[in-house]
Structure 1
Amino acid sequence: MARVSTSPSSTTATPAYAERLRLPWWLWLAGLATTALLALEVWMGGAGVRAWLPFAVLLPAAVAAMAWLGRIRIAVSEGELQVDDARLPARFVADAIALDADGRREVLGVGADPLAFVVQRPWVSGAVQVVLDDPADPTPFWVVSSRHPVALAEALLAARDASR
């Protein structure tokens, strides 16, 4: 006789792979320095509101923009690849290929397929090309930036094999 667990199941399983494509520290530093320089140019020794308004508006706007750029979350969880708000069930994955910077450049270069789904961040050198096997979907493949493309590809292939 099989045992049935009566404990409440959690709605979110621990992901097999998860990462967030945050900006590196040096891009934060460069962005804030450029914004501060722009605020100084607008200020240019002015008095009154012109003395503090550029700093009060531009610096928080720059922080918000850089946080928005680093918001993308990638996970392999519950039998699917999750890239921000896009979901790909693992059963439709034919292959997952880890790409280095040169491989990513080749896949996304001149001969790139215009129907491909691409989430690419230029500050992340690696990527994974996910070849699809879904006759109902015109998308031939996904290309997703990843700091650890081999681990992402292995997790995705393991999820695919588990779903079959």
Structure 2
Amino acid sequence: MPDQPHSPTTETADTDPRAPRAPGPSPYSERLWVPLWWWPVGFTIAGLLAAEIHMGAPGLRAWLPYLLLTPVPVWILLWMSRHRLDVTVADDGTAELRVDRAHLPVSFVARAVAVAPTAKSAALGRQLDPAAYVQHHAWIGPMALLVLDDPDDPTPYWLVSTRRPDRVLAALGLPSAG
């Protein structure tokens, strides 16, 4: 009977993480920047290297290493910060996780958990399945673990670095187990 109200135990689009969602803006987006303190360290290393080269050249050529080596830490640190993690809503209304160019529809996720920074080494150590999809960044402590339920995919789970795993899981509509 379609006119009856849903009981609290009945799964609806609001409670079922596999139900289609209404299209809209990205519910979560994160750029995985390197820590701010890496920037002065990078410039200090480039400056020390330029000073070493400066000692061997007189005149105007002495300042050339500073000019040429200053962009190097900028390029390296921006390159290391290029990774993105997004939760998007597809045209059919289902949510999906996008990590760089890889994407995972939420319909294939059986369960998910936020991995604390203290449990990160265990998750990446002996317990790590070689077939798992791992997007690890050492400068980010917590991770999100998404166990897959797809018989056609040999990947058992995704393990991705994120600063706010609970918000990622909430944006996907998945309860955090654990």
TM over 0.5: yes
The alpha-carbon distance between structure 1 residues 46 and 132, as it changes in their structure 2 partners (threshold 3 A), is same
Question: In the alignment, which residue of structure 2 is the partner of 1:102?
Answer: 118
- For the residues of structure 2 that align with 1:49 and 1:127, how far apart are their CA atoms? 49
Deviation digits for residues 80-108 of structure 1, max 9, x if unmatched? Answer: 10111111111111112101112221110
Matched, 1:153 2:164: no
The answer to whether the 8 A contact 1:96-1:156 is kept is no
Identity across the alignment (%):
42
Instruction: Please tell me whether residue 38 in structure 1 is matched to residue 31 in structure 2.
Output: no
Q: CA RMSD in A?
A: 1.9
How do 1:1-164 residues align onto structure 2 when only pairs under 5 Å count? 13-47=24-58, 50-78=61-89, 79-158=95-174
Pick closer, same or farther for the CA change 1:49–1:113 going to 2, 3 Å: farther
Deviates more, 1:45-54 or 1:93-102: 45-54
The 3-state SS of whatever aligns with 2:120 is: helix
Larger Rg: 2
Normalized per residue, which structure has more helix?
1
> How far, CA to CA, are the matches of 1:116 and 1:55 in structure 2?
44
Unpaired segments ≥5 residues, structure 1: 1-11, 160-164
Unaligned runs of 5+ in 2: 1-22, 90-94
> Helix, strand or coil for the counterpart of 1:124?
coil
2-side partners of 1:158 and 1:138: how far apart?
A: 22
TM-score (norm 1): 0.82
